[in-house]
Amino acid sequence: MAENVYEIARRQFDKAVRYVNIKTGIAEYLRTPKRELIVNFPVEMDDDSVRVFTGYRVHHNTALGPTKGGIRYHPDVSLDEVRALAMWMTWKCAVVGLPYGGAKGGVICDPKTLSARELENLTRRYATEISVLMSPQGDIPAPDVGTGEREMAWIMDTYSMHRGYSVPAVVTGKPLAIGGSLGRNEATGRGVMITTLETLKRKNIPVEGARVVVQGFGKVGAPAAYLIEERGAKVIAVSDAQGGVYNPRGLDTRDLLAYASAQRTVEGYKKAEPIANAELLELECEVLIPCALENQITATNAPRVRAKIVAEGANGPLTPEADEILADKGVFIIPDVLCNAGGVTVSYFEWVQDLQSFFWGEDEINERLRQIMVRSLNHVLRIAYEKNVDTRTAAQILGIQRVAEAVLIRGIYP
Ligand code: NAD
């Protein structure tokens, strides 16, 4: 039975909050979601039947500003998963210094089994159901597992239809044509690449020829893979939910992406050997980048992980037990709330551009993203050194400190 991720998020918080000087009551407030919405709603299916779906939207904390967080479509979505992801969003936004609180949403469904029309019906109805919480000033969703530009466009359109005018800033990760931002598609993967390259530099491992393994070849994993390959590293294995491919001489990840886009999986790619997902995580490599789901590296397989660096493209891919085992083995972890914060950072740029109706060039976006990622990594590493804690705890300390400061300055209403 997979570990409850909300419990994990709270355990991580409890470990970090001991280093932050705040009252017990404030700590209790910070480890609890502010509001949670559950919606059960009907969707008309292609065969004229009606199916009821369950969705969630959780706001974890709003001390620093409106909430921000993705929407996930997956059969395993649960209230506890959404709570954990919302909480991590709070620390993530604070770690990179964005004026946002954390949120997350999700619908229990398998998007692979739904037609485009059914997905559109589901998305527009879910957007309407959560519109009591969603607004450019209050809560701004974005893509996550199982959603993308298309769903964000439907959400933007649905919200705009209800208002009577276009409101692009209500959601980020939109197509460029309707107020999306240059660089957003690659932003999470770019942030992963930037923090990974900085870490390699610090550990005196040359990028040229460094072996990289990527689990999950979606919106995060695919750009992370080709951007790192472009910097000279050798991506030796990649997987998705169907299976994995392995080539010790290095994959051409752009070519693999073209194949995967056409076939909707990396499986069957001829210029590599097949490899099982479990085996892929245990390959000897310099960098392992999990970019799929939570709980992928646990007490069971952590002893067999042979990476020098684990860069968490995904949220929560390691359990606390795995953290400890990897720490004992000297594996360096770039924690999720830092490593994959490039996505929300460029989402923030998108929101700012939409609010101002003034759009930036791609070089400017990528350079601003690079500065934020490097500055945040340095800050986290400084805390890890000063407090003699692991990198995940250091990142959470930074996030918690910033949110706690905002809570204290604002005061407890009334
Ligand atoms: P996605 O749906 O685009 O891609 C997910 C990928 O993981 C797919 O290739 C899927 O086939 C694969 N996958 C699923 N189960 C797997 C398994 N058991 N083994 C191997 N591969 C598996 O989703 P995404 O947006 O790339 O999100 C991936 C992770 O990154 C999630 O944890 C998400 O919360 C996190 N994240 C996403 C963003 C973003 O901007 N999209 C930002 C920050 C963090």
Measured in Å, residue 72 CA sits from the centre of ligand 1 at: 10
d(CA 225, CA 227): 6
Distances (CA, A) of 356 to 86, 292, 360, 404: 27, 34, 11, 30
If pLDDT is split at 50, 70 and 90, which confidence band does 325 have?
A: very high
Question: Which alpha helices (DSSP H) does 136-220 contain, by range?
Answer: 149-163, 184-202
330: confidence class by pLDDT, cuts 50, 70, 90: very high
Residue 3: the pLDDT is: 85
| 388 alpha carbon – ligand 1 mean position (Å) | 31
Sheet with 101-108: list strands edge to edge.
Answer: 35-44, 50-59, 101-108, 67-74, 139-143
State which H helix or E strand residue 235 sits in.
strand 234-239
Indicate if the pLDDT at residue 232 is higher than 80.
yes
19: pLDDT confidence band, cut at 50, 70 and 90? very high
% of the chain exceeding 70 in pLDDT: 100
Give the residue numbers annotated as catalytic, written as ranges: 104
Cut 0.85: pTM above it: yes
Residue 263 clears pLDDT 60, i.e. is over it: yes
Q: In which band, very low, low, confident or very high, does the pLDDT at 370 lie, cut at 50, 70 and 90? A: very high
Ligand 1 mean position, distance from CA 298 (Å): 18
Mean pLDDT of the chain: 98
Tell how far the Cα of 161 is from the centroid of ligand 1, in angstroms. Answer: 30
Question: Would the CB of 66 count as within 6 Å of ligand 1?
Answer: no
Q: Is the CB of 218 under 6 A from ligand 1?
A: yes
Atom of ligand 1 minimally distant from the CA of 347: 40
Of 178, 156, 189, the C-alpha closest to 341 is 189
Residues in the chain: 414
Distance of CA 20 from the midpoint of ligand 1 (Å):
32
The percent of residues in the chain predicted with pLDDT above 90, rounded, is 99
Q: What letter would DSSP give residue 300?
A: T
Confidence of residue 7 (pLDDT cuts 50, 70, 90): very high
pLDDT (mean) for 119-139: 98
Minimum CA distance residue for ligand 1 atom 36: 314
Ligand 1 contact, 223 CB (< 6 A): no
Query: Is 293 close to ligand 1, i.e. is its CB under 6 Å away?
Result: yes
Tell me: pLDDT of 353 over 80: yes
Nearest alpha carbon, ligand 1 atom 22: 241
Nearest atom in ligand 1 to 313's CA: 30
Confidence at residue 281, expressed as pLDDT on a 0 to 100 scale: 98
Residue having the nearest C-alpha atom to atom 19 of ligand 1: 241
Q: Which helix (H) or strand (E) holds 363?
A: helix 362-387
Distance of CA 414 from the midpoint of ligand 1 (Å): 41
Q: Is 241 near ligand 1, meaning CB less than 6 Å away?
A: yes
Atom of ligand 1 nearest to the CA of 340: 43
Distance, in Å, from the CA atom of 197 to the CA atom of 173, rounded to the nearest integer, reads 25
Query: Is the beta carbon of 197 within 6 A of some atom in ligand 1?
Result: no
Q: Which residues contact 386 (CB under 8 A, 6 or more apart)?
A: none
Euclidean distance between CA atoms 145 and 306, whole angstroms: 27
Q: Would you say the CB of residue 189 lies under 6 angstroms from ligand 1? A: no
Evaluate if residue 1 carries a pLDDT over 60. no
Q: Is pLDDT of 215 > 90?
A: yes
Pocket lining: 74 vs ligand 1, CB cutoff 6 Å: no
Averaged pLDDT for residues 98-118 = 98
Q: How far apart are CA 383 and CA 252, in angstroms?
A: 38
